[in-house]
Structure formats: structure tokens, C-alpha cells
Amino acid sequence: MPELKSCPFCGGKPVLITVMDGNKWYSCHNINCKIRPSTPMSKDINKAIEAWNKRRKISERGH
């Protein structure tokens, strides 16, 4: 399993949340950040981590 990168906004440590409602769902969050970033829920733990770790370059943001 890949390691979670730090929060892109505050540099804090994110957490991986597991929700079980008959299925396992995963999402990454940083509730200590004022922006409160999170990823969409995923049935694949690696996709949830990949979504959190994905960073766009400034040139890709249109600035």
C-alpha cells in the first residue's frame, strides 16, 4: 500500500478512513486543516490513496 503524502494545503498528516456498510469504502481526509480536504469514497484502497497523493503542477491549474 502506498504511503499518504502530507496535506497539500497545511502540510499536516492525513488519515485513511474506512467505512463499512456491507462493503468497505475508503477515503483520505485531513480534519485538522482549515480547508478540510478529502477524497471521494472508493472501494479500492489504492485508488483512494492515489487520489489523495495526486498533485497538479501550477502550470496545469491555469494560472
Q: What pLDDT is stored for residue 62 in this prediction? A: 56
In terms of C-beta density within 10 A (0-12 exposed, 13-18 middle, 19 or more buried), how is residue 5 classed? middle
Domain ranges of the chain: 15-62
pLDDT in tens, the chain (63 residues): 889 999 999 999 999 999 998 999 999 999 999 999 999 999 999 999 999 999 876 665 555
User: DSSP state, 4?
Assistant: P
Residue 49 makes CB contacts below 8 A (sequence gap 6+) with 1, 2, 4, 16, 26, 28
